[in-house]
Amino acid sequence: MSERLSWLLRHPLVRMLGPALAMFLALAISFAAMEALLPKHARANWPNAVAALACALGYWAYARWREHRRVTELAGDGALVESALGVASGGLLALLTLAPLWGLGVYRFDGWGDSARLVAQMPEMLLVAVMEELLIRGVVFRISAQAWGVRWAFVLSTVAFVVAHLPGEISWIGVLVTAAASVAFSAAYQLTGRLWLPIGMHFAWNYLFSAVLSLSVSGHDADGWLRGSLNGAEWLTGGAYGIEASAMALLVWTGACLLLLRLAHPSGLPQALRTQPRSQR
């Protein structure tokens, strides 16, 4: 192997391709297998949960067999506690965002929807949280931190997260909220050294607004258990992008971001961010 090719393969941006491709390949295989083996009526919602597991297994397998390392970011120690804490934290942030809007008359409860949506949307929200956190925190943040340091890791992972949420109708407030949420998720990963906390936070935020409250998330229409609507100035309602483009969400996520950064800094770097895989040294 030539020296130039060897250098290219060790470059951090190239190193990010391997685990990302492993994740999406496992995801595609799982969906293709379920479509081929299962009748249509059996593929309603739960295949998304299987796909989330496949995505995580693809990431884990690549880290074990190509990077030759322990996958500490998916370690079982603390998984249940940190996931539960993440769900509670994400739910609290959602309620802290919604409560003032309800008090100001911006949010209005319009009635009851279908309670089956609570179960139906759970696998989809789980897949979104697992896939995005593995990709942005597990791949982009981790490899950037190893190569260029944690500050650059925060910058690059935040840019990647914002770009992934950039439909045409997003406002500048929506961009700032998305950036603040990304920094908070990255700080949660830095704090624990595992992905369970940010996955739980990410899942709870999306699930509560979409499956429970029927409010748009990241520009996607929602149909949940409770019928609610946002009415008023766009800087409060978020407009077409939804509550993630609300100034109230910006205040809440900025506060969460600053708190998690304060907590994460004294903890130093977790093992996954301190050492590079042996195959890449």
Residue 220 confidence (pLDDT): 84
pLDDT of 151 strictly over 60: yes
pLDDT of 263 strictly over 70: yes
**Binning pLDDT at 50, 70 and 90, where does residue 35 land?**
confident
pLDDT of 184 strictly over 60: yes
N-term to C-term CA, the chain: 15
pLDDT of 281 strictly over 60: no
The rounded percent of the chain whose pLDDT value lies above 70 is 90
**Binning pLDDT at 50, 70 and 90, where does residue 223 land?**
confident
Provide the mean pLDDT of the chain.
90
Residue 279 confidence (pLDDT): 47
pLDDT (average), residues 243-270: 88
pLDDT (average), residues 140-164: 95
Alpha helices for the chain (secondary structure H): 3-10, 12-37, 47-65, 79-103, 117-120, 122-133, 142-148, 150-163, 172-192, 196-207, 234-237, 247-264, 271-274
CA–CA separation, 230 vs 67, rounded Å? 47
pLDDT of 84 strictly over 50: yes
* DSSP-derived secondary structure for 164-233: TT--TT--HHHHHHHHHHHHHHHHHHHHHSSSHHHHHHHHHHHHIIIIIT---BTTB----SEEEEE-S-
